[in-house]
Amino acid sequence: MAVVELAFPRPSQFYARYINMRYGTVIWITGLSGAGKSSLAIEVAGQLRVKGEHVVLLDGDDLRAVFGSVAGNVRNYGLEGRFSLAMQYAHLCRVIAAQGLTVVIATISLFKEVHAWNRENLPGYCEIYLKVPVEELRRRDPKGIYRRFDAGELSNVTGLDLPFDEPEAADWFVECVSGREASELASEIICQLIKRNNL
C-alpha cells in the first residue's frame, strides 16, 4: 500500500485561520520567587475576563506538576531543568494563543534565550518584569524558600545560588513599590495593552 504524504497546515496557521481568525496575546509575568507574579497574574486575568476576554491563566508552580517536574532535585530545579521547563511553558503559550485566546502566565523563567524566543514566536507578546530586592523577598517569603535556603535545607534557588538574566527589553518594568496594589498595576497594564492593540 502506498503511503500518501499529507501537507497539514501548521497548528498556529490552522487555529488562527479557522477558529478565531486572529492570533491571541501572551502576557508573560516574570520575576524571582515572592515578587508577586501570581497575585498580579490573577488580577490581570480577572480584569480581562470582566472585559469579555477569553483568558487562560497559567502558573509556573501548577505547570511543574503538569510536566512532572515537582521532585526537588537538581534535574528539575538546576539551570538545565529550569531552562527546559521555561521552553515548554513558552511552547504551550504559543499553542494556546494560536487559538485566539489571551494567555496570562506567571513564571520565573529568567533566561535571555527564553525572552528572545518568546518575542520572536509568541503572538501579541507582552513581557512584565517584577523587580524586587532580595531583602524584600526574604521579608515576604510566602513559600518559606528563602528561610529554608538560609537554613541549608534548600538549594538551586534562582537569585541566590543560581544566576538569572534580567529581561533586557521588558514591556513593563515594575520595581518594588510599597503600597501598590496588584489590582492597580493590573489596570495600568491592561490600559497599555489596549493602547498597543494587543487586546
Burial of 9 (0-12, 13-18, 19+ CB in 10 A): exposed
Region 9-29: mean pLDDT is: 63
Does the 20-195 domain belong in CATH 3.30.420.10?
no
Q: Extract the C-alpha cell encoding 139.
A: 521579608
Task: For residue 109, indicate whether it is catalytic.
Answer: yes
What is the pLDDT at residue 28? 98
Prediction pTM value: 0.84
What is the pLDDT at residue 69? 61
Q: In what order do the strands lie in the sheet with 126-131?
A: 55-59, 102-106, 25-31, 126-131, 172-175
**Segment 139-168, tens digit of pLDDT:** 999 999 999 999 999 899 999 999 999 999
Question: What DSSP element (H or E) covers 28?
Answer: strand 25-31
**Segment 58-107, tens digit of pLDDT:** 999 899 888 876 544 556 678 899 999 999 999 999 999 999 999 999 99
Residue 45 reports pLDDT greater than 60: yes
| Average pLDDT value over all residues in the chain | 85
Measure the CA–CA gap between 150 and 116, rounded to whole angstroms. 33
Helices assigned H by DSSP within 57-173 = 60-66, 74-77, 79-97, 112-121, 134-140, 145-150
16 neighbors 101 (Cβ within 8 angstroms): no
- Cα–Cα–Cα angle for 163, 96, 125, nearest 5°? 55
149 neighbors 105 (Cβ within 8 angstroms): no
Q: Which of these is catalytic: 12, 33, 109, 155? A: 109
Measure the CA–CA gap between 47 and 28, rounded to whole angstroms. 16
Nearest alpha carbon to residue 27 among 123, 154, 165, 141: 123
Domain boundaries, the chain: 20-195
